[in-house]
Amino acid sequence: MADDGRFSSVSVERKPASAMAWDPKPSESHFQIFLALFVFFILGPLPSASAATALSDVTALHELREAWNATLGLAQNWTWGSDPCWNHWEGVSCFEETVVSLRLDVRGLVGAFSPSIGKLKNLQYLNLANNPGLTGPISEEIGQLSRLYALDLSHNNFGGPFPEFLLKLPVIKRLNLSFNQLTGVLDGGVRTFGHVNIFLIKNNISAVVNLPSPFINPELRGNPVCEDQSSHFPDICSYSGIIPKEILWQQKMSCSTVCDQNSVVHPGTCACYYPYICNMYFGWSPSYGFDETRIDNLRRALASGLKISFENLWIENATYWNISERQLLAKVIFYPASPSRLWDRSQVNDIKSKLIGKTIRLEGYDPYGLIASTLQTAPSNTGTFGGVVAIVALSGVVLCINLRRRPRPPRIDNALGIFDLDLEHYPSCLFLYDELRVSTRNFNRGNKIGEGTFGAVYKGTMVDGSEVAVKELPPNIKQGNQEFLNEVQLISGLQHKNLVKLRGCAISGKNRLLAFEYVENRSLHQALFDPVKALLLEWPIRYNIALGMAKGLACLHSQSPERLAHGDIKANNILLDRHLEPKIADFGLARMCQNNERRVVVHIEGKRGYIAPEYALHGQLTPMTDVFSFGIVALELVSGRQRMNPELPAEEQYLLSYVWNLHEQRRLMDLVDPKIRNECDEEQALVLIKVALLCSQGEASSRPEMAQVVSLLSGDAGVPDVLHRPVFLGLGVIDPNKLRPRPSSLTTWR
């Protein structure tokens, strides 16, 4: 266990959600059961359980391993006695206790398609690509996977008739069966609902019927049905997928100039330049041909929109990348005004910002996006940045990646390992990785201003003098990618003065950065408890901080497009700006919580003393989890005491228990921080304390919603009496030193 008391756990019980009204009077019988479980959890070993993963899923995975001759290359990971979800089996991703994603591409699998795959009832994504040892027909049991939305079986040796049952999967969106030995007829009439993209390149499909269809979009290049040049199906037989080099369009060049490795010959002047090069895609209109005239029209439109000379903007290597998506892939080269001139940072940023953030009218070409860009620099000009790559979704969304040399092929799925995530929800990336790294003086220790659950935070100063807080996620943390994507997705969509704003992001290989607005006075924890950096927070400021926290959480819980829970509310995650306004930070643990649905989290992150009982015991993360944590932080605000302090007398060590003792003795004002007690508004103090006690009730249904908390603290509603001490405190004083359960197979403390 780490000094900060973070821990990880798994669910030992899952209870159904109930739409209970807020009632501060809990069920005593329920509490007695809850008390036994909770006290046993915090003071003794957890009950044993066979596995965190559903038994049917565990059985299915072992059957798959045996069916494929145990050639998974996973012998040290997929082992009997270990749990697929809890022990992070390679290629296996879980939600709650079930397997939802199986990625076993390029594993050397050998054998037939095992029917055991049909036992993974909650599977959403399956990738068995590039295992040529897989043969035989595709098992019909895969048709039982009602939640499967993406299937990749390409580059194997599956045979037999085309499996029509795949077209009947209710939520399937993407089928890639290319480079197999499938035969027979593709019947577009089988699919009567929901659009699906089907890739059947290089199989043995001999006929198609009921096509075109509004429900399927097939690609059949390389099949016998396409061999007849008079085929009536040009859209499914021609120029599908990555087009061979013979289809490549290249601008004619007659120059014989040989340039050094950093420079590029200008096709108009035949001199060597140091250009800015972008690989881009364009939405292509099929009514427009693919010839030099159309490419020149594209050049003129880009040059005009970017205010660059037509002679200094050239297009090379244009290909149809994906005709089903109507995508034209091309290299766009921006030459400076003369061979002796170099692009500077501001000019390149200006071009890039126009390509990423604005719309240029391109006749015949629909929305475009930047895939990769690099700045060619003279060898002596080492200070100029280069090698910057951006991967973009069709909506114009950007994720920045620094590859230093050659850009990767534009495959979003391989670049981040998030093939099954919807990238159009992620925000525009405004920063280059090196820009953020340099802003922190190469992550200098002197710039370090904090340490979050999944990484350090540094103060950064950009070239324009603006300040940012840069969060660096360690590359060796398994949950780092998901943490990163959660933060990018959630924070970017939330705009509230009490929530930290995300300014941008950057990726370089496995290294991931988030750039937030810089908050001057750092965290509430430092302001209250740091022996050197503590601030004297007067009572009006403290009350305003509590109210601002409540408003930020209310936005998070009910005013955002999705109902979100933070999951790690604590004083360290409440930042204070120059006006001492609170801002909630670190959304990396947030979970989608719609319609009060309880989510069972496999890995629990948080600090002891802030965590709600149902989260600690069962991994149930809901907005009510945040309400409990808010109550504890509010008590810290009032008292100036930390939630647990073993240096205090025994009866005062656990803050929540101590407050209840004062409440029962009618001495609540004794809780107020002595430094401000004389100037404190007694009525406000009692309101805040009582609201905090309501929020920290043991039963989630007994706590108010954060919107109700805002009303209570704003004086719009009266505070109800708090009648019952939480039952998990019923034993009296709890020694925080005893809050360490013994090691068990179900809990990992760190």
Q: Which CATH number characterizes residue 444's domain?
A: 3.30.200.20
Cβ atoms of 515 and 468 within 8 Å: the answer is yes
**Residues 251 and 302 occupy one common structural domain:** yes
Residues annotated within a binding site for ATP = 471
Q: Give all strands (DSSP E) within 177-326, no chain letters.
A: 181-187, 196-199, 204-209, 216-219, 264-265, 272-273, 276-284, 313-322
Compute how many other C-beta atoms are within 10 angstroms of the C-beta atom of residue 430. Answer: 19
CA angle at 625 for the pair 623 and 627, rounded to the nearest 5°: 75
Cβ atoms of 185 and 160 within 8 Å: the answer is no
Closest CA to 410 of 420, 421, 399: 399
Rg (CA), the chain: 30
- Give the Cα separation of 175 and 194 in Å (integer): 13
Domain membership flag for residue 24: no
Cβ atoms of 101 and 125 within 8 Å: the answer is yes
Q: What's the pLDDT score for residue 161? A: 94
Cβ atoms of 563 and 553 within 8 Å: the answer is no
Q: Give all strands (DSSP E) within 297-363, no chain letters.
A: 313-322, 327-334
* Residue where a domain terminates, one of 482, 497, 517: 517
Domain membership flag for residue 128: yes
**Residues 119 and 193 occupy one common structural domain:** yes
Closest CA to 175 of 190, 195, 204, 159: 195
- Give the Cα separation of 237 and 254 in Å (integer): 35
**Residues 447 and 473 occupy one common structural domain:** yes
Q: What's the pLDDT score for residue 405? A: 27
Number of domains in the chain: 4
CATH of the domain at 344: 3.30.70
Burial class of residue 335, CB neighbours in 10 A (0-12, 13-18, 19+): buried
Q: What's the pLDDT score for residue 582? A: 95
Highest-confidence segment of 292-296, 602-606, 667-671:
667-671
Average pLDDT, the chain: 71
Cβ atoms of 636 and 655 within 8 Å: the answer is yes
Q: What is the pTM of this model?
A: 0.45
Q: Examine residue 244 and say whether the peptide bond preceding it is cis (omega within 30 degrees of 0).
A: no
**Residues 644 and 725 occupy one common structural domain:** yes
**Residues 323 and 178 occupy one common structural domain:** no
**Residues 225 and 331 occupy one common structural domain:** no
Cβ atoms of 189 and 210 within 8 Å: the answer is yes
- Give the Cα separation of 324 and 670 in Å (integer): 70
CATH of the domain at 630: 1.10.510.10
What is the enclosing helix (H) or strand (E) of 328?
strand 327-334
Helices (H), 358-441: 412-416, 433-439
| Block residue for tokens 């030995």 | 181
**Residue 156's pLDDT band (cuts 50, 70, 90):** very high
**Residues 149 and 261 occupy one common structural domain:** no
Domain membership flag for residue 746: no
* Residue where a domain terminates, one of 237, 263, 293: 237
- Give the Cα separation of 160 and 162 in Å (integer): 7
Q: What's the pLDDT score for residue 182? A: 95
Lowest mean pLDDT among 130-134, 408-412, 608-612: 408-412
SS3 367: strand
Residues annotated within a binding site = 471
Res. 512: pLDDT tops 60: yes
Domain membership flag for residue 214: yes
**Residues 157 and 261 occupy one common structural domain:** no
Domain membership flag for residue 692: yes
Highest-confidence segment of 329-338, 390-399, 408-417, 627-636:
627-636
- Annotated active-site residue in 57, 152, 420, 568: 568
| Domain, as residue range, for 654 | 524-739
Closest CA to 537 of 443, 638, 447: 638
Domain membership flag for residue 26: no
Res. 422: pLDDT tops 70: no
**Residue 255's pLDDT band (cuts 50, 70, 90):** low
Res. 282: pLDDT tops 70: no
Q: What are 653's two structure tokens? A: 């060590």
Domain membership flag for residue 40: no
| Block residue for tokens 């590029």 | 264
Q: Each residue of 11-28: pLDDT tens digit?
A: 333 333 333 345 544 444
Domain membership flag for residue 1: no
Q: Quote the DSSP letter at residue 670.
A: G
Q: What's the pLDDT score for residue 613? A: 82
Across the range 27-33, mean pLDDT stands at 48
Cβ atoms of 555 and 494 within 8 Å: the answer is yes
Specify the length of the chain in residues. 750
- Give the Cα separation of 276 and 388 in Å (integer): 11
Q: Is 568 a catalytic residue?
A: yes
Q: Which residues contact 677 (CB under 8 A, 6 or more apart)?
A: 669
Closest CA to 558 of 720, 714, 704, 697: 704
* Residue where a domain terminates, one of 206, 237, 268: 237
- Give the Cα separation of 263 and 28 in Å (integer): 78
Q: Quote the DSSP letter at residue 325.
A: G
Res. 419: pLDDT tops 70: no
**Residues 587 and 724 occupy one common structural domain:** yes
Across the range 159-174, mean pLDDT stands at 90
**Residues 481 and 371 occupy one common structural domain:** no
Q: Each residue of 227-251: pLDDT tens digit?
A: 754 344 555 665 333 333 333 344 4
**Residues 165 and 102 occupy one common structural domain:** yes
CATH of the domain at 96: 3.80.10.10
**Residues 507 and 545 occupy one common structural domain:** no
Q: Which residues contact 287 (CB under 8 A, 6 or more apart)?
A: 364
Across the range 595-601, mean pLDDT stands at 45
